[in-house]
Structure 1
Amino acid sequence: MSQHLRDIIISGMGSSSGGSFQRVRIDGVGEINGDIVCASFVSNGKGKIAGSIQTDKFEVRGMCTVKGNMQAVHSRIDGTASIDGRLIGETIEINGTASVAFDCEAEQFKSHGSFNIGGLLNAGAIDIKLLHSCHVREIGGENISVKQGKPLSVFNKLFSSLFSSPHLETDTIEGDKVVLEYTKARVVRGTQVIIGPGCEIDLVEYKQSVQLHENAQVNSHIKL
């Protein structure tokens, strides 16, 4: 990204047209009216991009809505983000809440929050710690881990104890090594599969090995 590009800093309320920029930062309420390309994007307040975004670094500590597709090398969501298109990147980290209308693709995907993905979640390494319920149409990857997370605060621990355990809901999971807890799925397919507590799986298909926890519900499992 050229160092000669200007920055956009919105404090309070403001808006800007789309285009190419160096840094974009929203500390109040701000809207970008169009597609945007930038080196970094940070939203600490309430941000809206009325188009698509391409950036090296995407950070949300407040709220942000992207009305198009999002391509970010590194993205971190500590607040709330809503993407009306696809999300593509190298690393994606969710500590807050994320909604993606279509597919989500990355080399590494980590979640310690909640997400709703309308399409395929595809990543080489997928590490999901369940603090809240998560939904995705299907999951594909090499190493897939879904485990119950530990609350980050006393409040979250007390809040989660009042309700049923958080879980992941999906139709299909396919990977090389698959380790699952508190997951509801129609089909789980992998080379090495471990089905832990709280799982409800219709069918498990495995190539090398399978382990089924006594507190998991698996209707059938077959070796491929």
Structure 2
Amino acid sequence: MNRKDILRRLEERLARGEIGEKTYLEIKARYDSEPEEPEEPGRSAEPISDLGATISAAVADATADATRAAGEAARAVGDAMRAMDFSGTGTQLSDEAIKIVGSGVVTGNPVKTVEFRSAGSARVQGSLIAEVARVAGSCNFEGDVHVEEFRSAGSVRIAGNLTAEEVEASGSLQVSGGIRAEGLSSSGSLQVSGDVEAEEFRSSGSVRIDGGLKAEEVHIDLGGTSKIGAIRGEEIRVKATGGFFRIRGELTADRIEGEEIELEATSAAYVKGEDVVIGPHCRIEVVEAGNLRVHQSSEVRERRGAS
């Protein structure tokens, strides 16, 4: 077989558009990697029909590899789909999204998707791994939730940990584990059994964190009874709502430590900061501060200078 003739015919078929450039390069590379056999004296050129058959076979071999790769990818997607079970009249599934409208249950170990959306009543049996999770209504996650963006409006329960870049919750959010996020915003009721770590933490309503809260910026607008084990941050501000004589909400904490601290309607055993303002309706056992101001309606039992 004359390699030059085969490659010349391939170039002609490429010019006519009968084969693609990728197929041509794959076949050419295959022949270039093989040692060229010396042409026997007196041997006639291979018939054109045999040469065409050889080229067709080479093209078929090259395209078969691509077909097998596509088939393997399709099987992988199918395996991922079969690894999850779905029930409920409102459950919709596509390659990149799980949507529950009305009522539905998704089961997997874990449940993996690009986007998870639910509107109504939903339950996820297993951990969820996604880029985006958006919930409207009620949803019960029976494992961990690991996403880039988490937004909820309604009532959400998470049996494990919540890890996200951005968390925005309106209504009720209950987490049996802890929360790690860059930004966390809660409006309504937030209950966390573990620790909360964030770059920025903002809440309005009631907050209960059994562990500790650690964030660079902490802004809490009290709208109900709140309790946090310990608060650590750079800038910490706790504001009461309602009028001076009829405030709504109170925060109870064991320790509050930061650089700039401003508190209202707060009871704490220990507060430490560089610039500390104890606003109205506070009861503090010990305050250690470089600069300290205390409202006349508040009580500080022991005052210490910055150590």
Q: TM-score, normalised by structure 1?
A: 0.90
Quote the residue 1:155 is aligned against: none
Please say if 1:122 is aligned against 2:214: yes
3-state SS in 2 of match to 1:102: coil
**1:55: Cα distance to partner?**
0.8
User: Which protein shows a greater Rg?
Assistant: 2
Q: Matched residue pairs, number?
A: 211
Quote the residue 1:69 is aligned against: 161
Q: Partners in 2 of 1:161 and 1:213 — Cα distance?
A: 12
**1:96: Cα distance to partner?**
1.3
The correspondence for 1:187, drawn from 259, 270, 283, is 270
Kept in 1: contact 2:241–2:248 (CA 8 A):
no
3-state SS in 2 of match to 1:197: coil
Classify 1:5/1:209 alpha carbon distance in 2 versus 1 (closer, same or farther; 3 Å).
farther
* Identical pairs, percent: 29
Which segments of 5 or more consecutive residues in structure 1 lack a partner in the other structure? 151-159
Alignment of 1:166-185 (within 5 A): 166-185=249-268
Q: Partners in 2 of 1:161 and 1:82 — Cα distance?
A: 31
Q: TM-score, normalised by structure 2?
A: 0.66
Q: Partners in 2 of 1:75 and 1:218 — Cα distance?
A: 35
Kept in 2: contact 1:94–1:114 (CA 8 A):
no
Quote the residue 2:228 is aligned against: 136
The correspondence for 2:287, drawn from 204, 210, 217, is 204
Q: Partners in 1 of 2:200 and 2:151 — Cα distance?
A: 16
Quote the residue 1:103 is aligned against: 195
More strand by share: 1
Bigger relative contact order (CA 8 A; separation at least 6): 1
**1:6: Cα distance to partner?**
2.1
- Letter paired with 1:215: S
The correspondence for 1:12, drawn from 94, 102, 116, is 102
Which segments of 5 or more consecutive residues in structure 2 lack a partner in the other structure? 1-93
Kept in 2: contact 1:87–1:103 (CA 8 A):
yes
Question: C-alpha deviations, 1:164-201, integer Å up to 9, x for none?
Answer: 63111111000011110110000001111110110000
Moved segments of 4+, more than 6 Å:
160-163
CA RMSD after TM alignment: 1.8
Classify 1:139/1:8 alpha carbon distance in 2 versus 1 (closer, same or farther; 3 Å).
same
Q: Partners in 2 of 1:45 and 1:197 — Cα distance?
A: 37
- Letter paired with 2:258: G
Kept in 2: contact 1:112–1:149 (CA 8 A):
no
Q: Partners in 2 of 1:125 and 1:136 — Cα distance?
A: 15
More helix by share: 2
